[in-house]
Chain A
Amino acid sequence: LAKTTQPISMDSYEGQEVNITCSHNNIATNDYITWYQQFPSQGPRFIIQGYKTKVTNEVASLFIPADRKSSTLSLPRVSLSDTAVYYCLVDDSTLTFGKGTMLLVSP
Chain B
Amino acid sequence: DAGVTQSPTHLIKTRGQHVTLRCSPISGHKSVSWYQQVLGQGPQFIFQYYEKEERGRGNFPDRFSARQFPNYSSELNVNALLLGDSALYLCASSWTPGTGDTEAFFGQGTRLTVV
Q: Which residues of A are at the interface with B, using a C-beta cutoff of 8 A?
A: 30-32, 34, 41-46, 49, 51, 85, 87, 89, 91-100
Closest 4 CB pairs of A and B: A43-B106, A97-B42, A32-B100, A46-B103
Selecting from B13-21, B66-74, B75-83, B90-98, the interface stretch reads B90-98
Chain A residues within 8 Å of B107, by CB: 43
Residues of B within 8 A of A (CB): 4, 33, 35, 40-45, 48, 55-56, 58, 88, 90-92, 97-101, 103-109, 111
Cβ-defined partner of B109 (8 Å) among A43, A91, A98: A43
Known: A41-B109, A43-B107. A93 touches B42 (CB 8 A): no
- Interfacial chain B residues near A41, Cβ < 8 Å: 88, 108-109, 111
Give 6 new A-B contacts, CB below 8 A, not counting A41-B111, A87-B42: A30-B100, A41-B109, A43-B4, A91-B99, A95-B33, A95-B99
Task: Determine if A94 and B33 form an interchain contact, defined as CB atoms under 8 angstroms apart.
Answer: yes
